Amino acid sequence: MFTGSVGEMKIKSTDAMRVLVVEDDDFQRNLMLRLLRMNNVVDIEHASDGIKALQAIEASDAAFDLIISDLDMPNMDGMEFIRILGEKNSAASLVITSTWNETFLSSIQTMCNAYGIEPLGVLQKPITNDNISTLLRLLQENSQPTSEVFDSDAPSFSLDEIMQGVRENQFKPVFQPKIDLSSNRVVGAEALARWQHPEHGLIAPFAFIPILEQSGKINELTFSMISQSAIACQAWANVGLEIDVSVNLSLTSLTDTKLASQIYDVVRASGLRPEKMILEVTETAAMTELAPALENLARMRMRGFGLSIDDFGTGFASMQQLSRVAFTELKIDRSFVSLMLTKREARAIIETSIDIANRLGIKSIAEGVETARELDVLKEYGCDLAQGYHIARPLSFDDFVAFCYSKRGTNE
């Protein structure tokens, strides 16, 4: 069964933060404690090496928000400590301090990423008050809602159960921000379906989308998602957030030639202009009924909707699809993004995809961006947009609005 919920946005004030300082040098440790207190942090613990730090974490009732750790320490050094934090899936933000030079610190950053940890900062000693206040501000800005929690022993649902949930409006979109890589601003949101089951909690798409598609019943969910997403997008515009919304379309829906007009009617009923909505379609070799699919896609484009080719690179007919549908966006599949730092082949596919998008005059977007390094390389390659856990998880409507405002604050 799946249980859990979309978390609440919690931005902590510094006096509510819990911080652990790991430093063997008495002078450096006392300096750090003094600087933290000067910045109104009151809940501080300290340890002189990795072993004592792990003991402090084990013994603590409440989780630490921030761990500031030295690298060079006796007994257990910072590298081993970081590896164990990664193994424990620590949720605390990590800051590394060291007297070593920038090149060395950059390799430590890469090592952290390889262990699944994204450090909030890597600081060269001596630490200044400016360093600490910047870090604490970053920590507040980075406060993310806790991830969605899906229980792994989910029952499989019957079509009847799913359809009843659809009729009772138990399916809601969550919104994952899409940012423009040149301005860092949120320019769009992908609406992803979640089933808020009255008994089983939050259910992820793979437990209901394939069943709805196979039984030819996906359209009811599609129209509900389009309508709720259009209303959300209009509500963002009303509070000054000029943001597009993307909705996923199943290919099976495209066989009905009335689809485009029905989608247009649902969107117009919410007051939203179709130009604000992008419809994401995955490429597939099995576009069995090609002609009606092409008719629908052409009509949607004519009506003003954006069209995105989702999971680009994973299907068999990507290039052919690109040449026959007037897509406005090419979405690079996350399997390439997750391998881009280690596999030359993945990098080549990403660079080529961005190049194709440029030549066709359409936007390129990378999905599944999980680290700062991936984001930097995508910027270097000239990718237009990005989406992924490093930027933000899929968020509830309220958390999404809060996230857009917090991003604005940092860029204006």
Characterise 276 by phi-psi region: left (phi > 0), alpha (psi -120 to 50), beta (else). alpha
**Nearest distance in Å: CB 190, Mg ion:** 6
How far apart (Å, rounded) are the C-alpha atoms in residues 287 and 207?
23
310 binds Mg ion (CB under 5 A): yes
| DSSP string of 395-411, one letter each residue | B-HHHHHHHHHHHHHHH
CB-based contacts of 131: which residues, under 8 Å, 6+ apart?
A: 35, 121, 123
Task: Give backbone dihedrals phi and psi of 92, rounded to 5 degrees, phi first.
Answer: -70, 145
CA distance 40 to 16: 9
The site partner of 388 among ligand C2E, Mg ion, none (C-beta below 5 to 8 Å per kind) is ligand C2E
Tell me the two tokens of residue 392: 């933000």
Restricting to residues 366-395, which ones interact with Mg ion according to CB under 5 A? 367
Segment interacting with Mg ion, rule: CB under 5 A, options 99-107, 221-229, 276-284, 383-391? 276-284
Q: How far is CA 350 from the centre of its chain?
A: 19
Q: How far is the CB of 385 from Mg ion (least distance, A)?
A: 13
Q: How far is the CB of 329 from Mg ion (least distance, A)?
A: 10
CB closer to ligand C2E, 254 vs 404: 254
Closest distance of CB 345 from Mg ion, Å: 19
Helix (H) or strand (E) holding 173: strand 171-180
- CA 353 – CA 364 distance, rounded (Å): 8
Q: How far is the CB of 359 from ligand C2E (least distance, A)?
A: 24
CB of 311 to Mg ion, least distance (A): 4
> Among residue numbers 102 through 131, which ones bind Mg ion (CB under 5 A)?
none
Q: What is the CA radius of gyration of the chain?
A: 24
Separation CA 212–CA 48 (nearest Å) = 56
Q: Cβ 146 to ligand C2E, closest distance in Å?
A: 15
311 binds Mg ion (CB under 5 A): yes
User: Residues interacting with ligand C2E, by CB under 6 A?
Assistant: 176, 192-193, 204-205, 209, 218, 222, 225, 248-250, 280, 310-311, 334, 367-370, 388-389, 394
Q: Which residue is nearest to Mg ion (CB)?
A: 280
Q: Which of 248, 252, 296, 387 binds Mg ion (CB under 5 A)?
A: 248
The option from ligand C2E, Mg ion, none interacting with 113 (CB < 5 to 8 A, set by class) reads: none
The least distance separating Mg ion from the CB of residue 310, rounded to whole angstroms, comes to 4
Q: Decide whether 52 or 116 has the Cβ nearer to ligand C2E.
A: 116
First to last CA, the chain: 44
Of 195 and 264, nearer to ligand C2E (C-beta) is 195
Residue 291 buriedness (CB in 10 A; 0-12 / 13-18 / 19+)? exposed
Q: Which residue is nearest to ligand C2E (CB)?
A: 388
Q: Which residue has the tokens 């680009």?
A: 312
Nearer to Mg ion, 248 or 364 (CB): 248
When the beta carbons of 133 and 335 are compared against ligand C2E, the nearer one is 335
| Binding of residue 280 to Mg ion (CB under 5 A) | yes
3-state secondary structure of 342: coil
Kindly provide the residue ranges of all beta strands, DSSP E only, lying in 335-404, ordered along the sequence: 363-366, 385-386
The contact set with Mg ion (CB under 5 A) reads: 248, 280, 310-311, 367
